[in-house]
Amino acid sequence: MHALSGLDLEVPRGTVKALLGPNGAGKTTVVKVLTTLIRPDAGSAVIDGIDVLAHPKSVRRIIGVSGQYAAVDENLTGFENLEMVGRLYHLGGKAARLRAQELIDLFELTAAGNRPVKGFSGGMRRRIDLAGALVFKPKVLFLDEPTTGLDPRSRLALWAVIKQLVRDGTTVLLTTQYLEEADQLADDISVIDDGRVIAEGTSDQLKAQIGGHRIVVALVDLADGESAREVLGRHGEGDPTVSDDGRTVEVAVTDGPRALQNVLANLGEAGIRLHDAGMRRPTLDDVFLTLTGHKAGPQTRGEPDEANLEKVR
Protein backbone atom coordinates (compact mmCIF):
# COMPACT_ATOMS: atom_id res chain seq x y z
CA MET A 1 0.00 0.00 0.00
CA HIS A 2 1.24 3.49 -0.83
CA ALA A 3 0.68 6.44 1.49
CA LEU A 4 0.78 8.74 -1.50
CA SER A 5 0.29 7.98 -5.17
CA GLY A 6 0.13 10.34 -8.07
CA LEU A 7 -0.03 13.32 -5.77
CA ASP A 8 0.72 16.52 -7.64
CA LEU A 9 0.88 19.87 -5.88
CA GLU A 10 2.02 23.34 -6.78
CA VAL A 11 2.08 26.23 -4.34
CA PRO A 12 2.78 29.73 -5.76
CA ARG A 13 5.12 31.94 -3.71
CA GLY A 14 3.42 33.98 -1.02
CA THR A 15 0.21 31.96 -0.98
CA VAL A 16 -1.37 29.54 1.46
CA LYS A 17 -2.23 26.05 0.30
CA ALA A 18 -4.33 23.80 2.49
CA LEU A 19 -4.26 20.03 2.26
CA LEU A 20 -7.62 18.95 3.50
CA GLY A 21 -8.43 15.37 4.35
CA PRO A 22 -9.25 12.89 7.08
CA ASN A 23 -6.68 11.09 9.26
CA GLY A 24 -4.70 8.63 7.21
CA ALA A 25 -5.28 10.48 3.93
CA GLY A 26 -1.53 11.08 3.56
CA LYS A 27 -1.32 14.74 4.58
CA THR A 28 1.40 14.26 7.18
CA THR A 29 3.35 12.06 4.76
CA VAL A 30 3.37 14.92 2.24
CA VAL A 31 4.71 17.30 4.90
CA LYS A 32 7.34 14.79 6.04
CA VAL A 33 8.59 14.30 2.49
CA LEU A 34 8.75 18.04 1.82
CA THR A 35 10.49 18.79 5.12
CA THR A 36 13.17 16.12 4.40
CA LEU A 37 12.06 13.81 7.22
CA ILE A 38 11.27 10.86 4.96
CA ARG A 39 12.42 9.93 1.48
CA PRO A 40 9.77 8.81 -0.98
CA ASP A 41 10.32 5.70 -3.10
CA ALA A 42 9.69 7.71 -6.24
CA GLY A 43 8.85 11.23 -7.30
CA SER A 44 10.35 14.66 -6.99
CA ALA A 45 9.88 17.82 -4.98
CA VAL A 46 11.26 21.31 -5.42
CA ILE A 47 11.09 24.11 -2.88
CA ASP A 48 12.20 27.61 -3.90
CA GLY A 49 14.21 26.09 -6.74
CA ILE A 50 15.98 23.54 -4.50
CA ASP A 51 15.56 19.83 -5.12
CA VAL A 52 14.37 18.40 -1.79
CA LEU A 53 15.70 14.89 -2.35
CA ALA A 54 19.10 15.98 -3.69
CA HIS A 55 19.82 18.83 -1.27
CA PRO A 56 17.92 18.25 1.97
CA LYS A 57 20.30 20.40 4.02
CA SER A 58 19.82 23.45 1.79
CA VAL A 59 16.06 22.98 2.04
CA ARG A 60 16.28 22.91 5.83
CA ARG A 61 17.72 26.44 5.77
CA ILE A 62 14.66 27.95 4.12
CA ILE A 63 11.79 26.03 5.72
CA GLY A 64 10.10 26.08 9.09
CA VAL A 65 8.03 23.19 10.40
CA SER A 66 5.41 23.10 13.11
CA GLY A 67 3.85 19.72 13.64
CA GLN A 68 0.78 18.16 15.06
CA TYR A 69 2.69 17.08 18.16
CA ALA A 70 4.36 20.16 19.54
CA ALA A 71 8.06 19.40 19.07
CA VAL A 72 9.32 21.22 22.13
CA ASP A 73 11.49 20.07 25.00
CA GLU A 74 9.36 19.76 28.12
CA ASN A 75 12.23 20.44 30.47
CA LEU A 76 13.47 23.60 28.81
CA THR A 77 11.77 26.95 29.24
CA GLY A 78 10.08 28.54 26.25
CA PHE A 79 13.06 30.85 25.89
CA GLU A 80 15.60 28.01 26.13
CA ASN A 81 13.72 26.02 23.48
CA LEU A 82 13.87 28.91 21.03
CA GLU A 83 17.47 29.75 21.87
CA MET A 84 18.46 26.12 21.23
CA VAL A 85 16.75 26.15 17.83
CA GLY A 86 18.52 29.43 17.00
CA ARG A 87 21.90 27.93 17.89
CA LEU A 88 21.15 24.89 15.75
CA TYR A 89 20.46 27.26 12.85
CA HIS A 90 24.00 28.49 13.63
CA LEU A 91 22.98 32.02 14.51
CA GLY A 92 25.53 32.12 17.34
CA GLY A 93 24.67 32.58 21.01
CA LYS A 94 23.95 36.29 21.07
CA ALA A 95 21.76 36.40 17.97
CA ALA A 96 19.97 33.21 19.07
CA ARG A 97 19.06 34.83 22.39
CA LEU A 98 17.92 38.07 20.73
CA ARG A 99 15.76 36.16 18.27
CA ALA A 100 14.29 33.98 21.05
CA GLN A 101 13.30 37.09 22.99
CA GLU A 102 11.79 38.68 19.87
CA LEU A 103 9.61 35.62 19.31
CA ILE A 104 8.60 35.38 22.98
CA ASP A 105 7.39 38.97 22.73
CA LEU A 106 5.73 38.44 19.34
CA PHE A 107 3.79 35.43 20.59
CA GLU A 108 2.94 37.13 23.88
CA LEU A 109 4.59 34.40 25.91
CA THR A 110 6.54 36.83 28.07
CA ALA A 111 4.97 35.63 31.30
CA ALA A 112 5.66 31.97 30.52
CA GLY A 113 8.95 32.32 28.66
CA ASN A 114 11.06 31.55 31.70
CA ARG A 115 9.23 28.49 33.01
CA PRO A 116 9.74 24.92 31.77
CA VAL A 117 7.31 24.01 28.98
CA LYS A 118 6.06 21.11 31.17
CA GLY A 119 3.61 23.45 32.85
CA PHE A 120 2.29 25.08 29.67
CA SER A 121 -1.21 24.65 28.26
CA GLY A 122 -1.67 22.97 24.87
CA GLY A 123 -2.17 26.32 23.16
CA MET A 124 1.01 27.75 24.66
CA ARG A 125 3.03 24.70 23.59
CA ARG A 126 1.76 25.10 20.05
CA ARG A 127 2.75 28.74 20.06
CA ILE A 128 6.27 27.88 21.27
CA ASP A 129 6.44 25.20 18.59
CA LEU A 130 5.28 27.62 15.91
CA ALA A 131 7.77 30.20 17.18
CA GLY A 132 10.45 27.49 16.83
CA ALA A 133 9.50 27.13 13.18
CA LEU A 134 9.98 30.88 12.69
CA VAL A 135 13.39 31.32 14.32
CA PHE A 136 15.22 31.58 11.00
CA LYS A 137 12.44 33.51 9.23
CA PRO A 138 11.57 30.70 6.81
CA LYS A 139 10.51 31.37 3.23
CA VAL A 140 8.21 28.39 3.35
CA LEU A 141 6.31 27.36 6.45
CA PHE A 142 4.82 23.90 6.93
CA LEU A 143 1.99 23.61 9.41
CA ASP A 144 0.82 20.07 10.03
CA GLU A 145 -2.58 20.26 11.68
CA PRO A 146 -1.55 23.31 13.70
CA THR A 147 -4.72 23.55 15.77
CA THR A 148 -5.71 19.89 16.26
CA GLY A 149 -6.68 19.39 19.88
CA LEU A 150 -6.80 23.07 20.75
CA ASP A 151 -9.77 24.79 22.36
CA PRO A 152 -11.64 27.30 20.16
CA ARG A 153 -10.03 30.32 21.78
CA SER A 154 -6.47 29.06 21.26
CA ARG A 155 -7.41 28.09 17.71
CA LEU A 156 -8.58 31.64 16.92
CA ALA A 157 -5.41 33.07 18.48
CA LEU A 158 -3.20 30.78 16.39
CA TRP A 159 -5.15 31.61 13.24
CA ALA A 160 -4.51 35.30 13.87
CA VAL A 161 -0.76 34.64 14.15
CA ILE A 162 -0.72 32.57 10.95
CA LYS A 163 -2.71 35.24 9.06
CA GLN A 164 -0.15 37.84 10.13
CA LEU A 165 2.73 35.68 8.84
CA VAL A 166 0.98 35.29 5.51
CA ARG A 167 0.46 39.04 5.23
CA ASP A 168 4.22 39.38 5.75
CA GLY A 169 4.84 37.23 2.69
CA THR A 170 5.50 33.72 4.00
CA THR A 171 4.45 30.85 1.75
CA VAL A 172 2.48 28.31 3.78
CA LEU A 173 1.53 24.69 3.26
CA LEU A 174 -1.09 23.79 5.82
CA THR A 175 -2.67 20.43 6.53
CA THR A 176 -5.94 20.21 8.35
CA GLN A 177 -8.96 18.07 8.89
CA TYR A 178 -10.99 21.12 9.86
CA LEU A 179 -12.87 22.47 6.90
CA GLU A 180 -13.35 25.78 8.61
CA GLU A 181 -9.59 26.13 9.05
CA ALA A 182 -8.90 25.66 5.35
CA ASP A 183 -11.72 28.08 4.59
CA GLN A 184 -10.25 30.68 6.99
CA LEU A 185 -6.58 30.49 6.07
CA ALA A 186 -6.04 29.10 2.60
CA ASP A 187 -5.99 30.75 -0.82
CA ASP A 188 -6.19 27.37 -2.39
CA ILE A 189 -7.33 23.97 -1.15
CA SER A 190 -6.40 20.47 -2.24
CA VAL A 191 -8.76 17.82 -0.96
CA ILE A 192 -6.81 14.63 -0.29
CA ASP A 193 -8.11 11.14 0.19
CA ASP A 194 -6.15 7.88 0.14
CA GLY A 195 -2.90 9.59 -0.89
CA ARG A 196 -4.28 11.40 -3.93
CA VAL A 197 -5.74 14.81 -4.66
CA ILE A 198 -9.42 14.37 -5.40
CA ALA A 199 -10.34 18.02 -5.85
CA GLU A 200 -8.56 21.32 -6.03
CA GLY A 201 -9.49 25.00 -6.06
CA THR A 202 -10.47 27.93 -3.91
CA SER A 203 -13.03 27.42 -1.20
CA ASP A 204 -15.70 29.06 -3.39
CA GLN A 205 -14.79 26.98 -6.43
CA LEU A 206 -15.07 23.79 -4.46
CA LYS A 207 -18.42 24.82 -3.10
CA ALA A 208 -19.67 25.78 -6.56
CA GLN A 209 -18.68 22.33 -7.78
CA ILE A 210 -21.37 20.73 -5.70
CA GLY A 211 -24.26 23.08 -6.37
CA GLY A 212 -25.84 26.08 -4.72
CA HIS A 213 -27.85 26.41 -1.56
CA ARG A 214 -29.16 23.69 0.70
CA ILE A 215 -32.61 23.70 2.18
CA VAL A 216 -32.91 22.23 5.64
CA VAL A 217 -36.11 21.55 7.56
CA ALA A 218 -36.56 20.17 11.07
CA LEU A 219 -39.71 18.13 11.67
CA VAL A 220 -41.97 18.24 14.71
CA ASP A 221 -43.39 14.77 14.04
CA LEU A 222 -41.04 12.00 13.04
CA ALA A 223 -43.88 10.24 11.20
CA ASP A 224 -43.78 13.03 8.60
CA GLY A 225 -40.28 11.98 7.49
CA GLU A 226 -41.32 10.16 4.34
CA SER A 227 -43.73 12.83 3.07
CA ALA A 228 -41.21 15.61 3.84
CA ARG A 229 -38.60 13.74 1.83
CA GLU A 230 -41.00 13.48 -1.04
CA VAL A 231 -41.73 17.24 -0.98
CA LEU A 232 -38.08 18.26 -0.79
CA GLY A 233 -37.18 15.77 -3.52
CA ARG A 234 -39.62 17.50 -5.86
CA HIS A 235 -37.74 20.80 -5.56
CA GLY A 236 -34.14 19.69 -5.15
CA GLU A 237 -31.38 18.24 -7.22
CA GLY A 238 -30.60 14.70 -6.25
CA ASP A 239 -32.01 12.81 -3.29
CA PRO A 240 -32.75 14.57 -0.02
CA THR A 241 -30.78 13.29 2.95
CA VAL A 242 -32.30 12.54 6.35
CA SER A 243 -30.28 12.97 9.53
CA ASP A 244 -29.55 9.94 11.72
CA ASP A 245 -32.24 10.88 14.23
CA GLY A 246 -34.75 11.37 11.42
CA ARG A 247 -35.58 14.92 12.51
CA THR A 248 -33.86 16.94 9.77
CA VAL A 249 -34.28 16.60 6.03
CA GLU A 250 -31.96 18.36 3.64
CA VAL A 251 -31.65 18.83 -0.10
CA ALA A 252 -29.44 20.77 -2.54
CA VAL A 253 -31.31 23.26 -4.75
CA THR A 254 -30.41 25.60 -7.62
CA ASP A 255 -32.58 28.63 -7.05
CA GLY A 256 -32.38 28.86 -3.29
CA PRO A 257 -34.92 31.49 -2.17
CA ARG A 258 -37.64 30.49 -4.59
CA ALA A 259 -37.18 26.82 -3.85
CA LEU A 260 -37.46 27.54 -0.14
CA GLN A 261 -40.75 29.40 -0.66
CA ASN A 262 -42.15 26.52 -2.70
CA VAL A 263 -40.95 23.88 -0.26
CA LEU A 264 -42.54 25.70 2.65
CA ALA A 265 -45.82 26.18 0.77
CA ASN A 266 -45.94 22.48 -0.21
CA LEU A 267 -45.07 21.31 3.30
CA GLY A 268 -47.86 23.56 4.62
CA GLU A 269 -50.39 22.09 2.18
CA ALA A 270 -49.35 18.58 3.24
CA GLY A 271 -49.96 19.54 6.89
CA ILE A 272 -46.36 18.87 7.96
CA ARG A 273 -45.39 20.88 11.04
CA LEU A 274 -41.86 22.25 11.35
CA HIS A 275 -39.60 23.22 14.26
CA ASP A 276 -37.25 25.05 11.98
CA ALA A 277 -36.65 25.67 8.31
CA GLY A 278 -33.91 27.48 6.44
CA MET A 279 -31.38 27.77 3.73
CA ARG A 280 -27.62 27.55 4.01
CA ARG A 281 -24.59 27.81 1.77
CA PRO A 282 -22.70 24.55 1.29
CA THR A 283 -19.76 23.93 3.64
CA LEU A 284 -16.58 22.07 2.82
CA ASP A 285 -18.11 19.15 4.73
CA ASP A 286 -20.61 18.91 1.93
CA VAL A 287 -17.77 19.07 -0.58
CA PHE A 288 -16.06 16.18 1.09
CA LEU A 289 -19.18 14.09 1.38
CA THR A 290 -20.02 14.64 -2.26
CA LEU A 291 -16.51 13.91 -3.52
CA THR A 292 -15.61 10.87 -1.46
CA GLY A 293 -18.89 9.44 -0.35
CA HIS A 294 -17.76 9.60 3.27
CA LYS A 295 -17.63 12.34 5.83
CA ALA A 296 -14.46 14.27 6.56
CA GLY A 297 -13.17 13.58 10.02
CA PRO A 298 -11.10 11.18 12.06
CA GLN A 299 -11.19 7.66 10.69
CA THR A 300 -9.36 4.52 11.57
CA ARG A 301 -7.21 3.16 8.85
CA GLY A 302 -4.13 1.01 8.57
CA GLU A 303 -0.84 2.90 8.74
CA PRO A 304 0.60 3.21 5.26
CA ASP A 305 3.98 1.50 5.23
CA GLU A 306 5.42 2.99 2.09
CA ALA A 307 5.50 6.42 0.57
CA ASN A 308 5.28 6.81 -3.14
CA LEU A 309 5.31 10.42 -4.14
CA GLU A 310 4.90 10.88 -7.84
CA LYS A 311 5.50 14.56 -8.08
CA VAL A 312 5.38 17.41 -5.65
CA ARG A 313 6.36 20.83 -6.79
Partner 1 sequence: MSQAGVLRAPSDNRLALWYSDGWTVTKRNLIKIKRSPDMLVFAVIQPIMFVLLFSQVYAGAIQVQGTDYVQFLMAGIFAQTVVFGSTFSGGAMAQDLKTGIIDRFRSLPMSSSAVLIGRTNSDLVLNTISMIIMMGTGFVVGWRVNSSPPEFIGGVALLLLFSYAFSWVMALLGMTVNSPEVINNASFIILFPLTFVSNAFVPSETLPTPLRIFAEWNPVSSLVQAARELFGNVGTAPVPDVWTMQNPVLTVLIGIVVMLVVFVPLCIRKFASISSR
Q: Which is nearer to partner 1, 35 or 176 (CB)?
A: 35
Q: How far is the CB of 169 from partner 1 (least distance, A)?
A: 9
Residue closer to partner 1, measured from CB, 79 or 288: 79
Question: Which is closer to partner 1, CB of 89 or CB of 159?
Answer: 89
Please give the size of the binding site for partner 1, defined by CB under 8 A: 42
Examine residue 72 and tell whether it contacts partner 1 (CB under 8 A): yes
Q: Hey, which residues between 242 and 301 contact partner 1 (CB under 8 A)?
A: none
- Which member of 18, 20, 65, 309 binds partner 1 (CB under 8 A)? 65
Tell me the three-class secondary structure of the chain, residue by residue: CECCCCCEECCCCCCEEEEECCCCCCHHHHHHHHCCCCCCCCCCEEECCEECCCCHHHHHHHEEEECCCCCCCCCCEHHHHHHHHHHHCCCCHHHHHHHHHHHHHHCCCCCCCCCEHHHCCHHHHHHHHHHHHCCCCCCEEEEECCCCCCCHHHHHHHHHHHHHHHHCCCEEEEEECCHHHHHHHCCEEEEEECCEEEEEECHHHHHHHCCCCEEEEEECCHHHHHHHHHHHHHHCEEEEEECCCCCEEEEECCCHHHHHHHHHHHHHHCCCCEEEEEEECCCHHHHHHHHHCCCCCCCCCCCCCECCCCEEC
Exactly one of 46, 50, 61, 248 binds partner 1 (CB under 8 A); which one?
A: 61
> Nearest approach, Cβ of 35 to partner 1 (angstroms)?
5
* Burial (Cβ within 10 Å: 0-12, 13-18, ≥19) of residue 283: middle
**Least spacing, CB of residue 91 vs partner 1, in Å:** 6
The nearer residue to partner 1, 65 or 182, going by C-beta atoms, is 65
Q: Which one of the spans 84-92, 202-210, 221-229, 278-286 is the region binding partner 1 (CB under 8 A)?
A: 84-92
Residue ranges in 98-137 that form contacts with partner 1 under rule CB under 8 A: 98-99, 102, 116, 129, 132, 134, 136-137
d(CA 251, CA 231): 10
Binder of partner 1 out of 75, 110, 202, 205 (CB under 8 A): 75
Q: Which of 14, 23, 44, 89 binds partner 1 (CB under 8 A)?
A: 89
Q: Does 95 bind partner 1 (CB under 8 A)?
A: yes
Is residue 84 involved in binding partner 1 (CB under 8 A)?
yes
User: How many angstroms separate the most distant Cα atoms in the chain?
Assistant: 78
Q: Is residue 187 within 8 Å of residue 206, measured between CB atoms?
A: no
**Site membership for partner 1, residue 76 (CB under 8 A):** yes
The amino acid sitting at 13 is: R
Binding-residue pattern over the window 6 to 45 for partner 1, x denoting contact by CB under 8 A? ----------------------x---x--xxxxx------
Nearer to partner 1 (CB atom), residue 5 or residue 28: 28
Judged by beta carbon, residue 78 or residue 132, the one nearer partner 1 is 132
Q: How far apart are CA 23 and CA 40, in angstroms?
A: 20
Chain contacts with partner 1 (rule: CB under 8 A)? 28, 32, 35-39, 57-58, 60-61, 63, 65, 67, 69-76, 80, 84-85, 87-92, 95, 98-99, 102, 116, 129, 132, 134, 136-137, 168
